[in-house]
Amino acid sequence: MHPSKPIVGRLAPSPTGGLHLGHARTFVIAWLAARSGGGRLVLRIEDIDASRVRPGMVEAAMADLRWLGLNWDEGPDVGGPARPYLQSERLSLYQAALDRLKQQELVFPCTCTRAEISRMASAPHVADGEPVYPGACRDRSAAEAELLQLSGRSFAWRFRVPPGKVAWSDLVQGDLELEPAQAGGDFLVGRSSGEPAYQLAVVVDDAAMGVTQVIRGDDLVSSTPRQLLLYKALGFVPPQFGHIPLVHDSQGWRLAKRDQAIKLSSLREAKVDPRRLVGWLAVSCGWSENPQPCWPADWLGRCQPLSGLPVAPWILSHDVLTDLGLNAEHGRS
């Protein structure tokens, strides 16, 4: 970890749809966690899933973040020593990291389809809705990928997960430990087409960009032990992680990018004062009892962003939606 190094946080939106109120809360907390410690912010666009990237979403994400009153020291629009800041332009770095893992025989080519894995995996062993990989191809060596390519067979690269628990001190949730072998098993790090998987790309990028603090939603807790294994395998120093509860609607569903009525772009277009939203976010984090209009920067030196955060999801109440001019029955499209 980086306990003594200057804080470098990051904002890493994915341009697969517009940002919503849940993203706003996470990014405001991440921004304050870095800035309150005198730290720097990196903006990185996670656009490696080309099939899901939507035109104009990169620019829209940056406009949403600026509308919230957030800024950054490095990013696609301002440059920086770790450029480029779009993952789609960093593919050679991911390939180099994958090659290092191949040389250590820490990855193997897997020809199993998702349907085959679902059939092979027993029903109780499911992690985050995904079946636990049963290890059908894990005895293959990295070199066997050449034979698969010659035969025209498609495959994915999986990281060979060792047995045992992985522990870390979470900045929000305290001491945590998970056993990745029992929570998903050998995980994807790349495809034969050259496209990297999320777990490998974020580790390579955070290390290259000097990120020392990662604040994100608690839906990614299960990713942390996998990423810590990759940090160790690649010889990188991992950042400190903090996982915050998500935002749910009144029906208990977590917010998703398909929820058009709660998009930040909708609020921007409706000329809503962003300080009203930030005021409600401050209430949701326990920094304030009343939703007074404010900017994130107004809380610098006035709160400890990661201390005392509620452990339960923030439920969007009728009062919040009404104050922001949203339909209280916005539902789910």
Catalytic (active-site) positions: 257
Spell out the residues 6+ positions from residue 151 whose beta carbon is closer than 8 angstroms to its own: none
Q: Judging by DSSP bridges, how do beta strands 126-127 and 8-11 pair with one another?
A: unpaired
DSSP symbol at 75: B
Nearest 5°: phi and psi at 234?
Answer: -90, -5
As a whole number of angstroms, the distance between CA 126 and CA 182 comes to 9
Q: How far apart are the first and last CA of the chain?
A: 41
- Name the residue with tokens 């809503």: 272
Q: Please give the Cα distance from 104 to 212 (Å, whole number).
A: 26
Q: What is the DSSP letter of 47?
A: -
- In DSSP notation, 81-117 reads TT---BGGG-HHHHHHHHHHHHHTT-EEEE---HHHH
Question: Could you give the CA distance from residue 281 to residue 288 in angstroms, rounded to a whole number?
Answer: 9
Task: Give the closest residue to 48 by CA, choosing from 82, 114, 18, 92.
Answer: 92
Report how far residue 204's alpha carbon sits from residue 227's, in angstroms, rounded to the nearest whole number.
10
Asked whether the beta carbons of 321 and 327 are under 8 A apart, the reply is: yes
